[in-house]
Amino acid sequence: MNFELSQDHKVLQDAVRDFVNNEIKPIAMQIDEDHAIPDELVRKMAEMGFLGSYLPEEYGGAGLDMLSYAIVIEEVSKACGSSGVLISAHTSLACGPIDTFGSHEQKQKWLTPLNTGEKIGCILLTEPDAGSDAGAVTTSYRKEGDEYVVNGSKIFITNGGYLGTGVLFATSDKSLRHKGISAFIVDLQSPGISILKNENKMGIRGTYTTAFALDDVRIPAENLLGEEGQGFKIAMDTLNGGRVGIAAQALGIAEGAFERSLDYSKERKQFGKAISELQAIQFKLADMYSRIETSKLMTYKAAWMKDAKLEYSMESALCKMLASEAATYVTKEAIQIHGGYGFICDYEVERMYRDAKITEIYEGTNEVQRVVISKQLLR
Amino acid sequence: MKVLLVCEYREGKLLDTSYELVAFADTLGAEKVAVLVGDEAAVPQLDAPVYLADVALCGEYNPAVHKAAVLAAVEKEQPDYIVFSHSSYGWDLAPRVAVALKVGQVTEVVGIVDGDFEVGCCNAKMRRKVKPTTARAVLTLQAGAFAAVAPQAAPRVERLEVAIDGQGLTFVGYEAAEVKVVDLTKAEVIVTAGRGVGKKDNISLIADLAKAMGGELGASRPVVDAEWVEHSHQVGTTGQSVSPKLYVACGVSGAIQHLAGMKKSDFVVAINKDKDAPIGEMADVLVVADVLQFVPVLTAQLQG
Amino acid sequence: MKILVCIKQVPDMESRFKPAADGLWFDETDLAWRMNEYDEYAVEQAVQLKEQLGKEPELTVLSIGSDRVVEAIKKALAMGADRATHIQDAAAQQKDPWQIASIITAYAKDKDFDLIFTGMQSQDRGSAQVGVLVAELLGIASATTVVDFSFADGVVSVKRELEGGIKGLVSLQTPALVTCQLGLNVPRYPTLPNIMKAKKKEIEAIAVDSLLSEQAIAPTAQVYAPVRKGGGIVLEGDVGDMVQNLLGILKEKTAVVV
């Protein structure tokens, strides 16, 4: 057993860290205030290869592994949770299923512009009445000639506002529940797709979270991903990979808040000494660090299992659950360590606290993760 | 003990740092002899032999030829130490002389401790003592480490004949410094922004403090390289050397090259999160604080 | 055309340093390591030259040190070097610049490099000697402290950074060596696709014993923390209190803040 990162992973971590410190960290507060990640930053992240890290070189990806992907999101999220989830939703939820279930032609056509960042990807799964219960999708499709015609609505679509490339889930007959669902690759600039709104949110305010109306959207038959009726399976497989990305995002947010807290505790003087000399603060730091380390080990393990082509749905649920709960815990304690200063925006930990909460909710709430874990324990 | 001082000459003038070499030799209590590629009107004023190679023939920068001049003086005088300023001239020429003589070189000496040469390391966070094992040694001296002596008597000038062979290198000429927008050398108060300010937007905080103090904005090298502040504000070896009454270093770690440019300030205040930052050594007052929190409060007080 | 870039791995200068147990170097445990900043400019300039000249030049990166320095080598490969030589030496920190230069010269002497790039100095030792020593030992022209570089028809044209913002313009016939100053260019980030490509590039390993035959002539006698000069006042604590204290001191000690 070896818990040390390989030299190649260290080189990658170092390169990403340099990029983040120079290009993202200085503008992270601005991204939150503006509710937008500058296009310039998205372009730079694409040039770095952040939008196709583990995808094949043949289709414009970097050809690295899942662990590299987790490291990229972790490092980016240390500075900016919004940028972290842009990468995660794009890579895991759009590139991921096209890579796993797409044909060579589909990959050439759709994966290449996604991996190079020419298009930003998203998944269109959630609906007003189909959240954790993904089998309850009501957006419908019917076949007309060599086209599918889709009607319905989708909400909470991370990256949706870029109107790039989506992986869309719709049902041919909702009474079939899971078995009626199919997945399609869709150009979000197609006629019939309209943005209802981009949500105003508590955290990760730099990303788009978009609600769409779909009215007679005509999708060429060749855009069917996998086979008809395979949609639910595609969705579940996609979310497995996505959970590692969200775990890495949560881990990064927690680490960012921890680094600031550690520094601050050494600088801040009360009662004539640094507050880091007070046991109350020391215990907080120990508790925060233990949760971070546990989450990191599980996140890296889940990534390693995917790379080793092992069944990893248990570990992906575990790492997502552990890391997101570490993130909410650590960011809350980070504010407490900062005291009143933590509550004002200049110290950034309040932003991290707001950014952390969603990681317990999206890509499967932590309650759903517990279902996944306990089912596997009891089967 | 005998020390050969390799004096420096540029654009028709002897550089004042040559008198720092004299101070170093005096510290050792050594016999002095100097060498200069220059002209008769610009020889260093000291009571010692000065070997002069004609700059009209040798060129102001021509390392192979200047090396030959220094070696010719070494041949005649057999000095124990051959000493240069640690400057663009000295650090360029010293290793050439050292390798030709196959002697040890000690770079950027800041002092002499128990007979060994003390130099900085790790960006001045540590010190290192170096002990050359060769019979003689080449040294370069940190700018300002040995306070220049005043010019003394007229020297005994002896001419050196040097073979002119550039060995593949041609000196084309000088490019003048960009026109200085601000002249920091005359400022009474300088408030300098270092890398610790974090990003370009925060420079305004430092500029506001400078204004509130009635002074000029200075900048460290990384801040200028990142184009947060224009080059004419740069303090340090490759910027301006300043001597204000008050120097306020904000988030400046204190690289040797920066310290060399501001060490003549009368009173130094450093504001830095890192209590161990080398700038602290130079500071009359070290404020251990985050610049971004401390500076606005100070500015507000001054304005109020 | 053959190009060599010599790089060193150094600790992050933000680190806290303490002397090693033997007192001859700093303690290397718990330090973050990275490519010497000056060397990043050297690698970037060499890669830019390679891009300027098309596919033809072969760009080799060389580093001396323990297995850990392979991280810096891999970064240089990801920035665009073609191949690497790792001279394995677990005790490189004990070698003086003369020995390091001798090792590089022994490696380079029969390889006919047309251009060699180095940093102007390392951030940890700061000797600013190795590049010039290598050039002198190889008998080729060299220029130090380069802040502008161009190459055409076998002639290198550089600007050397002198004091006070003045630059010295120098041209060199190849073969030549230049030492690179900060600000020479904008070093690129290694991108993910290039990190992947770098994995397939050759890293040749050579034991240092086969290249080193020189003794140290300027060895380190001791490494230690600087003694703080007395007299400096240190203010810590509440920002408001510190501001009041500072203003009081400035009023008392300087004539400029009233």
B275 contacts B268 by C-beta, under 8 angstroms: no
| Contacts with B228 from chain A: Cβ below 8 Å | none
Write the single-letter amino acid at A193.
I
Q: What residues does A150 pair with on adjacent strands?
A: A141, A217
Average pLDDT across chain B, whole number: 92
B272 contacts B280 by C-beta, under 8 angstroms: yes
Residues A7, C191: C-beta atoms closer than 8 Å: no
Same domain, C154 and C98: yes
Residues B285, C183: C-beta atoms closer than 8 Å: no
Angstrom distances, CA of residue B293 to CA of A19, A120, B19, C168, C246 = 26, 38, 43, 42, 15
Residue showing tokens 């090792």? C103
- State the Cα torsion A243-A249-A254-A259 to the nearest 10°: 150
**B259: pLDDT confidence band, cut at 50, 70 and 90?**
confident
Domains of chain A and CATH, by start = 7-115 (1.10.540.10), 121-231 (2.40.110.10), 233-378 (1.20.140.10)
Residues C78, A68: C-beta atoms closer than 8 Å: no
What is the Cα–Cα distance from A343 to A350, expressed in whole angstroms? 6
pLDDT in tens, C94-125: 999 999 999 999 999 999 999 999 999 999 99
What is the Cα–Cα distance from A252 to A355, expressed in whole angstroms? 11
Domains of chain B and CATH, by start = 2-160 (3.40.50.620), 184-303 (3.40.50.1220)
> Which of A18, A52, A68 has the CB atom closest to C189's CB atom?
A18
Same domain, C85 and C196: yes
The pLDDT of residue C173: 96
Does the pLDDT value for residue C34 go beyond 80?
A: yes
With pLDDT > 70 as the criterion, what percentage of chain C qualifies? 98
- The verdict on whether A255 is a catalytic residue reads no
How would you class A237 by CB atoms within 10 Å of its CB: exposed for 0-12, middle for 13-18, buried for 19 or more? Answer: middle
Among the listed residues B7, A48, B2, A76, the one whose alpha carbon sits nearest the alpha carbon of residue C196: A48
The pLDDT of residue C165: 82
> Which of A26, A263, A346 has the CB atom closest to B199's CB atom?
A26
Residue showing tokens 């004023």? B45
CB pairs under 8 A between B and C: 255
Residues A267, B198: C-beta atoms closer than 8 Å: no
Among the listed residues A313, A287, A303, the one whose alpha carbon sits nearest the alpha carbon of residue A245: A303
Same domain, C23 and C108: yes
Among the listed residues A127, A142, A114, A129, the one whose alpha carbon sits nearest the alpha carbon of residue A51: A114
Q: Which helix (H) or strand (E) holds B84?
A: strand B81-85
**C253: pLDDT confidence band, cut at 50, 70 and 90?**
confident
Among the listed residues B89, B83, B1, the one whose alpha carbon sits nearest the alpha carbon of residue B35: B83
B258 contacts B220 by C-beta, under 8 angstroms: yes
Residues C161, B176: C-beta atoms closer than 8 Å: no
Same domain, C93 and C33: yes
C202 contacts C84 by C-beta, under 8 angstroms: yes
Same domain, C161 and C36: yes
> Which of B10, B99, B285 has the CB atom closest to C246's CB atom?
B285
Q: What token pair was written down for B159? A: 């001419």
Does the pLDDT value for residue C258 go beyond 60?
A: no
What SS3 state is found at A138?
A: coil
What is the Cα–Cα distance from A235 to A229, expressed in whole angstroms? 11
The pLDDT of residue A324: 98
The pLDDT of residue B96: 98
Same domain, C138 and C37: yes
Beta-sheet strands, E only, within C122-258: 141-152, 155-161, 167-173, 176-180, 203-207, 220-224, 233-235
What string of DSSP letters covers B191-208? Answer: EEE-GGG-SGGGHHHHHH
pLDDT in tens, B51-107: 999 999 999 999 999 999 999 999 999 999 999 999 999 999 999 999 999 999 999
**B235: pLDDT confidence band, cut at 50, 70 and 90?**
very high
CA angle B275, C225, B270 (to 5 degrees): 30
> Which of A26, A263, A267 has the CB atom closest to B198's CB atom?
A26
Same domain, C200 and C256: no
Over residues B163-191, mean pLDDT? 87
What is the Cα–Cα distance from A256 to A336, expressed in whole angstroms? 15
The pLDDT of residue C230: 57
Touching C (3+ Cβ pairs <8 A), the chains are: A, B
Kindly report the three-state secondary structure assignment for every residue of B214-249. Answer: CCEEEECHHHHHCCCCCHHHEECCCCECCCCCEEEE
Check CB contact of A263 with chain B, cutoff 8 Å.
yes
**C231: pLDDT confidence band, cut at 50, 70 and 90?**
low
Residues C143, B96: C-beta atoms closer than 8 Å: no
| Contacts with A48 from chain C: Cβ below 8 Å | 189, 191-192
The pLDDT of residue B180: 66
Touching A (3+ Cβ pairs <8 A), the chains are: B, C
The pLDDT of residue C99: 98
The pLDDT of residue B143: 84
Cis peptide before A38 (omega within 30 of 0): no
Window C:80-139, CB contacts with B under 8 Å: 96-98, 101, 120, 123-129, 132-133, 136-137
Q: What residues does A149 pair with on adjacent strands?
A: A142, A218
The pLDDT of residue C147: 96
pLDDT in tens, C8-25: 999 998 888 999 999 999
Over residues C129-153, mean pLDDT? 97
Same domain, C84 and C146: yes
Same domain, C163 and C134: yes
| Residue ranges in chain A whose pLDDT is less than 70 | none
What is the Cα–Cα distance from C200 to C211, expressed in whole angstroms? 26
The pLDDT of residue A379: 85
Helix A231-267 with A313-338: angle, nearest 10 deg: 30
Check CB contact of C240 with chain A, cutoff 8 Å.
no
Is position C254 within any domain? yes
CATH, residue C36: 3.40.50.620
The set of residues, in sequence order, having a beta carbon less than 8 Å from that of B159 and lying 6+ positions away, is: B51, B52, B53, B54
Angstrom distances, CA of residue C7 to CA of C30, C39, C111, C121 = 22, 5, 18, 10
Write the single-letter amino acid at C183.
G
The pLDDT of residue A134: 83
Same domain, C94 and C203: yes
Over residues C134-149, mean pLDDT? 98
- Among B129-138, B141-150, C183-192, C216-225, which is the least confidently predicted range? B141-150
Average pLDDT across chain C, whole number: 94
Write the single-letter amino acid at B112.
I
What is the Cα–Cα distance from B246 to C255, expressed in whole angstroms? 9
What is the Cα–Cα distance from B218 to B188, expressed in whole angstroms? 12
Does the pLDDT value for residue B225 go beyond 90?
A: no
The pLDDT of residue A204: 97
Q: Give the pTM.
A: 0.89
Supply the DSSP symbol for B270: E
A243 contacts A315 by C-beta, under 8 angstroms: no
* Domain boundaries, position C96: 2-210
How would you class B149 by CB atoms within 10 Å of its CB: exposed for 0-12, middle for 13-18, buried for 19 or more? Answer: middle
Nearest CA distance, B228 vs chain A (angstrom): 13
- State the Cα torsion C32-C33-C35-C38 to the nearest 10°: 70
| Contacts with A346 from chain B: Cβ below 8 Å | 292-293
What string of DSSP letters covers B67-110? Answer: HHHHHHHHHHH--SEEEEESSTTHHHHHHHHHHHHT-EEEEEEE
Is position C166 within any domain? yes
**Comparing C226 with A75, which gets the higher pLDDT?**
A75
The pLDDT of residue B269: 95
**B285: pLDDT confidence band, cut at 50, 70 and 90?**
very high
Is position C48 within any domain? yes
Same domain, C203 and C256: no
CA pseudo-torsion sign B69, B71, B74, B76 = negative
Write the single-letter amino acid at B240.
Q
Q: What is the Rg, in whole angstroms, of the alpha carbon atoms belonging to chain B? A: 21
Same domain, C175 and C135: yes
Q: How many domains does chain C have?
A: 2
Does the pLDDT value for residue B15 go beyond 80?
A: yes
Window C:28-87, CB contacts with A under 8 Å: 34, 70-71, 74-75, 78
ipTM of the complex: 0.92
Residues C192, A48: C-beta atoms closer than 8 Å: yes
The pLDDT of residue A270: 84
> Which of B199, B200, B273 has the CB atom closest to A267's CB atom?
B273
Is position C177 within any domain? yes
**C163: pLDDT confidence band, cut at 50, 70 and 90?**
confident
Q: What is the Rg, in whole angstroms, of the alpha carbon atoms belonging to chain C? A: 22
pLDDT in tens, C48-74: 999 999 878 999 999 999 999 999 999
